[in-house]
Structure 1
Amino acid sequence: MVNVFDRIEWKVREIFGEGPICVHVGDIKECDIKRHPTYSKFRDEVISAGIRSAASSRLWESLIAMGRLSDMDGDDTWQMVILDCIVPCFRGVSARISRDFRVELEEVQSAMVLAALEVWRDTEHGVPPRHVRDKMVKAAFDVAFRCGNGALAEWSSDEIELLFQSEMFAQESVLKASSIININGIRDVDVAEQLRGERIGALFQLLGHFGVVREFHDDLRAGRRSGSVRQTMTTSMLLRSRISGPHLYYYTSDLYPSYIGLREAAAVMGVPESAAHRLIRVGQFPFPAARAGRSYKVSVKALMHFKDIPDFIVHVDDVENGALHASGGL
């Protein structure tokens, strides 16, 4: 199936064909260098230079300069060349996000191209050419992750809906209503708190991991551990704590391990582990990574922040009610 990346490549190849291409002055007749590669060879070399060291690549600096000059003439040919030399590193990420988060591939790829073009326009002044490619790639990756995050939220709600095929049960279920309500738009904080907790419980039940949550709740109730929420409690939370017992509020991140390996973190980010290692080596990994033997470990909270995954405050009763509804209990 033809996608936007393919169309960019075909358009550029249609312009240059199999003839030689000059990235120094744009016209081989005016260039002092006598030997010039075909576009296919030039493209392969540029992509390789970007992978090795985009920041220090003179080839990329020349390409960016040609793009700026052609923009001044109202010609977007070299802008298309730049895109064609960048999008190969978008293919793997876009395909994985499309597959894992059930997003249309064309939607992700188009968003990545538009994000890269926006950076191209915004970096016309004040940004050294050697940094432009990196900024375009980063912006494209960021928007791809956002596409995945948005789809994940919709997918979670849709999957919750599947738990309530019975109309009778659906009418009695608060969770069914919560799955189609924008919690952020609810003014009653107590209702929003309840729905948020029930939704979390239903999701863990759906994923088959509520046993771990139940053990965590048992530890909270027995005093073997305490909830991590303290100063951020609202008045209603404090009142509820006095009734149901102290320390029964917690952050959803308390259910996760504090750290995970770089391989798992890279999978969540939608990039190969080798790419994550490379980003760490050049100091461009988006959040701190701690050395663990020959590899690295990553803070789950930092990963959640990077992926815009909210760290909700929930109460054990609400979470358990949501799981009960999701399992078909009354």
Structure 2
Amino acid sequence: MVDIFDRIELAVRDIFGEGPVCVHVGDVKGCGIKRHPTYSALHSDAIRAGVRSGSASRLWESLITMGRLCDLDGGDTWRLVILDCITPCFRSLSSNVSREFRVDRSDIRSAMVATALEVWADTSTGVPRRVRDLMVKAAFDVAFRRGKAVSSDCLIDDLELLRCEAPAQGSDLSAHSIIDVNGIRDADVAEQIRGERFGSLLQRSGCFGAVAGFHSEIRSGRRTGSVGQAVEVSGSTRSRISGRSSYYYSSDLYPSFVGLLEAASVMGIAESAARRLIRAGQFPFPVARAGRSYMVSVRALMHFMDIPDVIVHVDYVENGATHASGGVR
């Protein structure tokens, strides 16, 4: 299906055809430079220049200048050229966001183009050196916002939708799965559903063996989660039954940091793109430098992806795992 990216590409190639293109003054005959590339060659050079450093590229400065001059004349040819030269780096991201968040890809791509054009209009005074990078970053941001806006509010709900297994015989989790936890006024009931969903997910994913060890350490007092804050935020009365130390955040099960490759995969972008954003100071949250590598805080990544760091109680998590395993752990 033809989307906005394809329409831009077709429109520009229809304008220039296979003839030479002048990015210096816009007119091959009036340019003092005698050798000019075809549009296909110019397009390839612009993409490579953007990957290296769009802000420092002479080619991109020329493209932006031509775009501004074309705007003054009331045309849109060079604005389309600029879009056509940056949308290739949008393609894989838009496809990943569409797949991960189950959003229509054409809607994501239309939003990215519209946002890039808004940045173009907002930077119309002069020729900012980083205008290309600003357009790309804004388009990336809106893609993630669109995806997260229509996704589930809870990571556990999202993951359950991807799984096709029937609920265990006699389990009441099938009823819980259609309940919006945020709409439940009783804090204890909401806490129970969150914990059982989390335990069910871990059991179905084959991860509960490691979690059982974590729970054993909590019960023995050798380890605690983020206890005080968890109980305070939860507002639950369950701490009177089995103690404050039995609560933990779901993020306590994860490592504190992951490598940039893993983080980029979760964000739906290539590691190379993540590195470029870090070097340009445009990565959406701080990262730690470890020699030549980057380490990403899991909690910061969860916050950026709008993945709730849910508060759970060991009893409810274990109950959910028991339900998911058919009553046998």
Question: What SS is found at the alignment partner of 2:10?
Answer: helix
Shift of 1:120: 2.6
Counterpart among 167, 181, 201 of residue 199 in structure 2: 201
Distance in structure 2 (CA, Å) of the matches to 1:128 and 1:68: 8
Alignment of 1:315-326 (within 5 A): 315-326=313-324
Q: Is the deviation greater in 319-328 or in 231-240? A: 231-240
Aligned to 2:198, the other structure's residue is in SS state helix
Instruction: State the match for 1:286 in structure 2.
Output: 284
Following the alignment from structure 1 to structure 2, what is the Cα–Cα distance between the partners of residues 242 and 261? 40
The 5-angstrom pairing of residues 24-39 of structure 1 reads 24-39=24-39
Alpha-carbon deviation of 1:298?
Answer: 1.9
- Per the alignment, residue 270 of structure 1 pairs with 268
Matched residues in 2 for 1:165 and 1:315: separation?
A: 22
Q: Which residue of 2 aligns with 1:156?
A: 159
> Do 1:19 and 1:39's aligned partners in 2 also have CA atoms closer than 8 Å?
yes
Q: Is the 8 A contact 2:231 2:244 kept in 1?
A: no
Q: CA deviation at 1:20?
A: 2.3
State the 1:98 CA deviation. 4.2
Cα pair 2:101 2:151 within 8 Å, conserved: yes
Q: Name the structure 1 match of 2:134.
A: 135
Partner residue of 1:80?
80
- State the partner residue of 1:187: 185
Which residue of the partner structure matches residue 121 of structure 2? 121
**Post-superposition offset of 1:135:** 1.6
- Is the contact between residue 115 and residue 136 of structure 1 (CA under 8 Å) also seen in structure 2? yes
CA distance in 1, matches of 2:278, 2:227: 32
Answer whether contact 1:161 1:176 (CA < 8 A) is retained.
no
1: CA distance, partners of 2:233 / 2:86: 52
Q: Give 5+ residue unaligned stretches, structure 2.
A: none
Aligned twin of 1:54: 54
Conservation of the 8 A alpha-carbon contact between 2:228 and 2:244: no
Contact 2:98/2:105, CA 8 A, preserved across alignment: yes
C-alpha distance 74-199 of structure 1, shift in aligned 2 (>3 A)? farther
Residues 129-151 of structure 1: CA distance to partner in whole angstroms, max 9, x if unpaired? Answer: 22221122112222333455455
Q: Which of the residues 300, 324, 327 maps onto 2:325?
A: 327
Task: Mark the CA change 1:106 to 1:233 in structure 2 (over 3 Å): closer, same or farther.
Answer: same
- C-alpha contact 1:229 1:247 (8 A) present in aligned 2: yes
Residue 129 of structure 2 aligns to a residue in which SS? Answer: helix
3-state SS of 2:167 partner: coil
SS of residue matched to 1:239: coil
Give 1:85's aligned amino acid. C
Note if contact 2:231-2:239 (Cα within 8 Å) is conserved in structure 1: no
| Contact 2:168/2:324 (<8 A) preserved | no
Q: Report deviation, 1:228.
A: 0.7
SS at match of 2:24: coil
Moved over 6 A (4+): none
Q: Distance in 2 between matches of 1:182 and 1:69?
A: 53
Counterpart pick for 1:311 among 309, 312, 323: 309
Contact 2:119 2:134 in 1 (8 A): yes
CA RMSD of aligned residues (A): 3.0
Q: CA deviation at 1:77?
A: 2.3
The 8 Å contact of residues 22 and 28 in structure 1, kept in 2 or not, is answered as: yes
Higher alpha-carbon deviation: 98-107 or 221-230? 98-107
Any conservation in 2 of the 1:67–1:82 contact (CA below 8 Å)? yes
CA distance in 1, matches of 2:282, 2:112: 19
Q: Name the structure 1 match of 2:21.
A: 21
- Give me the whole-angstrom Cα distance separating, in 1, the residues matched to 2:180 and 2:68: 44
| Paired residue type of 1:273 | E
Alignment equivalent of 1:295, drawn from 293, 296, 300: 293
Kindly report which structure 2 residues correspond to 1:91-102, keeping only aligned pairs within 5 A, or say none. Answer: 91-99=91-99
Structure-1 residue corresponding to 2:221: 223
* Residue 237 to residue 282, structure 1, CA distance change in 2 (3 Å): same
List gaps (5 residues or longer) in structure 1.
none
In 2, Cα distance between the equivalents of 1:81 and 1:235?
52
Give the C-alpha shift of residue 247 in structure 1: 1.3
Give the percent of matched residue pairs that are identical in Structure 1 and Structure 2.
64
Change (3 A) 1:296 1:236: closer
Aligned length: 324
TM-score normalised per structure 2: 0.84
